[in-house]
Chain A
Amino acid sequence: QKNGVSNGTLYKKTFVEHFEQAPMYVAVLTFVGFGVGTIFGYLRDFMRAWGLEKRNIAAEREEQKDFVPLYQDFENFYTRNLYMRIRDNWNRPICSVPGPQFDLMERVTDDYNWTFRFTGRTIKNVINMGSYNYLGFAETDVNALKTVTIELQKYGAGVCSTRQEMGTLDKHVELEKLVAKFLGVEDAMVFGMGFATNSMNIPALVGKGCLILSDELNHTSLVLGARLSGATIRIFKHNNMQSLEKLLRDAIIYGQPRSRRAWRKIIILVEGIYSMEGSIVRLPELVSLKKKYKAYLYLDEAHSIGAVGATGRGVVEYFGMSPDDVDVLMGTFTKSFGAAGGYIAGKKDLVDFLRTHSHSAVYATSMCPPVAEQIIRAMKCLMGLDGTTQGLQRVRQLGKNTRYFRRRLHEMGFIIYGNDDSPVVPLLLYMPGKIGAFARRMLEKNIGVVVVGFPATPITESRARFCVSAAHTREMLDTVLNALDELGDFLHLKYSRYSKSSHPELYEETRLELED
């Protein structure tokens, strides 16, 4: 159902998100598909236990057979029987830069996906719809990487120390100043790994006696950080501000569960763009709620920094708000900047506190210098500091590509989730059999896609996820769209009941006939 504008005054442009439900027969067939898979799974297990079928999976050592088994049989049931059938669609190794096109290593299996063998050949120029390369900075152009090579020769590859001991280089200081300037905040701190940024800093910011309100579909790193902190966690429905408001009111009225004392801190964890849904957080409503109930806001912009907003500064700019409204701005450099690592930005007191108390600053190595240089050059390009307008062009190209891609997919009749402006496009497949078929046939057409199923998504909603990039040209997108069209008809994937008219050319044809 489309979500139109409800608080007309808060949103400066229309906020349109789609989460269409598929017809009922699709859900039924999906369950049937899983049921058949499960029955065959039990049959296979039975045959394996009785020796009628070979055991292909690795086994425990002879000397350790009487130890407590390491894996329970049931935990692995799904892996053994359902995942193993379509395993060839994941972990495909590539042998070039993950740009808009890449080269895949050809991989065949002789025994139905239990083991793989590389033939030694590569499949060249596969269109890449799976890598997080939103602004196209994953490139090997020698000119662009000149400064990175210089830094590599000056500093070497590793740092071999933590931030607090010997690991703070002048490159880190330069990078942090640049990040703070880019986002428009007072100060920033960078870390070596995006996942670790969340899981090591949330415990430093909140502890026992605090309340964490986290979105249903938050990323594992946020969930892990929240659990490690020891605070109480309550979950609100995805992007649903009424559910969040109810939780906030309950928290303030009832306080901590047994002692009824007020919570020490209430912090709301949300993401800018959710990577499995493609939805954008409702920031204006969230900020007004936060101000009303005096809670703190932690915004994880892993996918949205660089990808949305008029100049690529993330959801804060997309909604036209000021970065001071968000207490903790967190993001990663993996997606839009073609590097690795994460950052946390905000007021100076916050960042100074993190410099002394973050687990990562004390125990984990700092970011390596060539990677820091890559981020610096990408950010300078985005801000226009290198003298060209290339950065702005990339952001605009990404916006154009996103809107074109989504519009065409809607017209064709696929069910797409998410906001019209998000470069993450999940296309719903639903049935388990189609997951494997879709990915394999797309590869035959030289297009690499990412498919996701249970347990990363709910069991009935398996999907294929496309990541549009600024480096994709119109021709590449058209190739992909035509392939999707064909495949959609072949596999009956066009479930949408709201498709717009997709053949305006028909009208031209009839007009020509009439003129005749």
Chain B
Amino acid sequence: FFSQIDVHLELEERLAKFMRTEEAIIYSYGFATIASAIPAYSKRGDIVFVDEAACFAIQKGLQASRSNIKLFKHNDMADLERLLKEQETEDQKNPRKARVTRRFIVVEGLYMNTGDVCPLPELIKLKYKYKVRIFLEESLSFGVLGEHGRGITEHFGINIDDIDLISANMENSLASIGGFCCGRSFIIDHQRLSGQGYCFSASLPPLLAAAAIEALNIMEDNPDIFQTLRAKCERIHKALQGISGLKVVGESFSPALHLQLRESCGSREDDVKLLKRVVDYCMNSGIALTQARYLEKEEKCLPPPSIRVVITVEQTEEELDKAASLLKEAAQSVLN
């Protein structure tokens, strides 16, 4: 109802062109993007295979869709294949029902909770073998992975049409608010009428859409910032190795790492308190850090408590080294 402004249309076109897909659709809130996209396609009776470490927004989307959810172990393709085979034997018992149940795999490009990538080439093979559709959530990997920042499909060199739906939020790399889904028109157009977060909600303020367009301009004009970012990620990953008491969790090229305790104190509360002391020490010395927050009772598979370290391309190498040494000092003093 008169809430689409020309800036929104421009942003949708730019995003579709950047990601080299047919169409893109914009949501006004990052959390609502994937939480509305999944229930638009997957209804009661459909089957969704989802990774254990999926983020909370995906879990809420799955809950809203009322489909059958099957969790497979994090990044474990053998486990996923086992579940798919079980589903196949079920199908053979009831072929009529099997013909109408839709199947989906929901994975993230770069997992927020653990910092590693999903093995996309194997997933594509499984997709064609067992005929399941893939929904990829690229909040952390958009603007980070790939030569031009197009995400995990560029990183692995996969044809983007093989992925049915890519959903990402603009709150991480584009530093705006909102989210988008991109893919083929066949799939994306459906959300314009049945995506709850799109139809029943106000659209993005034009200010934020313009900010996102500007960020896209910067990304397209300077493709070497991705190389710089990756180099800095590797640097900090190496620098943080070997801190006593804390282990680094995450890929070397992921800009968001977790630092978990090597040995837990026994209870989650004590772990959290200990990590808080490390964070406070760093805050007092000039490094802003935060613990990764979860709603303990609501998460399906609660990750262990950790400190999240996030870097940006604008930090200089001296600052990164200083941060790493301060963290070492903090861990030394608090944990020993």
Contacts and interface: CB of A to CB of B under 8 A. Distances in A.
A58 B189 CA distance: 9
Contacts of B207: 152, 157, 370-371
Interface string A289-324: 000000000000000000000000000000000000
Interface in B254-290: 288, 290
Nearest to B192: A91
A128 B2 contact: yes
Interface residues of A, number: 68
Interface in B290-306: 290-295, 298
B14 interface: no
Nearest to A370: B207
Interface in B1-50: 1-6, 8-9, 28-32, 35, 41
Interface in B59-73: 60, 63-64
17 contacts: A58-B185, A63-B128, A66-B131, A67-B131, A70-B102, A71-B190, A94-B5, A98-B2, A156-B175, A164-B293, A339-B205, A362-B295, A363-B31, A364-B57, A368-B208, A371-B208, A450-B1
Given A130-B2, A166-B290, A220-B200, A359 B56 contact: yes
A154 interface: no
A157 B177 contact: yes
Given A61-B184, A363-B56, A220 B30 contact: no
Contacts of A334: 202
B295 A68 contact: no
A246 B35 CA distance: 35
A193 interface: yes
A350 B132 CA distance: 44
Interface in A136-156: 152, 156
A157 B170 CA distance: 11
Given A91-B192, A157-B176, A363-B57, A196 B32 contact: yes
A70 B171 contact: no
Given A91-B4, A102-B2, A128-B2, A220 B31 contact: no
A460 interface: no
A272 interface: no
Contact of B177 (A68, A94, A102, A158): A158
A368 B184 contact: no
Contacts of B55: 363
Given A196-B29, A221-B200, A360-B31, A228 B5 contact: no
Contact of B290 (A69, A79, A159, A165): A165
Contacts of A364: 29-31, 57
A192 interface: yes
A72 B45 CA distance: 13
Interface of A: 58-61, 63-64, 66-72, 79, 83, 90-95, 98, 102, 105, 128, 130-132, 152, 156-162, 164-166, 192-196, 199-200, 219-221, 224, 227-228, 332, 334, 339-340, 357, 359-360, 362-365, 368, 370-371, 448, 450
Given A193-B29, A362-B294, A362-B295, 9 more contacts: A68-B100, A70-B186, A102-B2, A157-B175, A221-B200, A332-B202, A363-B57, A371-B207, A371-B208
B216 to A, nearest CB: 13
B47 to A, nearest CB: 10
Interface in B171-195: 171-172, 174-177, 184-187, 189-190, 192-193
Nearest to B177: A368
Contacts of A58: 184-186, 189
B133 interface: yes
B197 interface: yes
- Of A63, A152, A160, the most chain B CB neighbours within 10 A belong to A160
Contacts of A340: 28, 202, 204-205
A61 B170 CA distance: 28
A158 B102 contact: no
Listed from nearest, the 5 A-B pairs whose CB atoms lie closest are A157-B211, A193-B29, A364-B31, A195-B201, A58-B186
A162 to B, nearest CB: 7
Nearest to A66: B131
Nearest to B203: A340
